[in-house]
Chain A
């Protein structure tokens, strides 16, 4: 089965730090996504990528950037972490019109 691996399950950072969240998939999927999940708000799309070096903004891109230098890896970057970015971050990958495969999430706390 497809495996989507997020580098950290829990992460604690200080405000102002630069934070990297890594996501790796092992099935050569062209599409990859970053969502954030907050209680009472559901999941919201931050960025997605449909090919190497290609990216598009989702619904809430402010304060985030992404990098996709290799097909299997999609990184989410918080340039200067703030407390309102404390959240669960979920990565997903997809091939063509097939279903999305999600990672297990990174719970990020910004203090």
Chain B
């Protein structure tokens, strides 16, 4: 069975600084998909970024980028120029089937932004 591990229950960063959230996963599959979701206090999960395992290039979305290390099964999220609105729970997730996404989630990292 696939597992997703987030070893940092809480992180904090000064506003405008850069922070990296860690995620490792375990799978025997060679083709899969990885995601970072954000859950603000409104509780509605929002997709931040998505990475296809067959792509060597790391995904980026504005201030958000990932460091995908397939051999190490590592998938970290880097947030640049942190803003107060980035404060949230961040969940790393794995999916084998894209479309009909049965996601396996990590336990989450609570990110605090210090003004």
Q: Using CB atoms and an 8 Å cutoff, list the residues of chain A in contact with chain B.
A: 31, 35, 40-45, 48, 50, 58-59, 88, 90, 92, 94, 96-97, 99-100, 102-105
Contact = CB atoms under 8 A, between A and B. Distances in A.
Interface string B98-112: 111111111110000
By secondary structure, the B interface counts as loop
17 contacts: A31-B100, A40-B107, A42-B105, A42-B108, A43-B105, A44-B105, A58-B102, A59-B104, A90-B43, A90-B45, A94-B100, A100-B45, A100-B103, A102-B45, A102-B46, A104-B43, A105-B44
A41 B99 contact: no
Interface in B8-65: 9, 42-47, 50
Q: Which of B43, B46, B104, B108 has the most CB of A within 10 A?
A: B43
B101 A103 contact: no
Interface of B: 4, 6, 9, 42-47, 50, 91, 93, 98-108
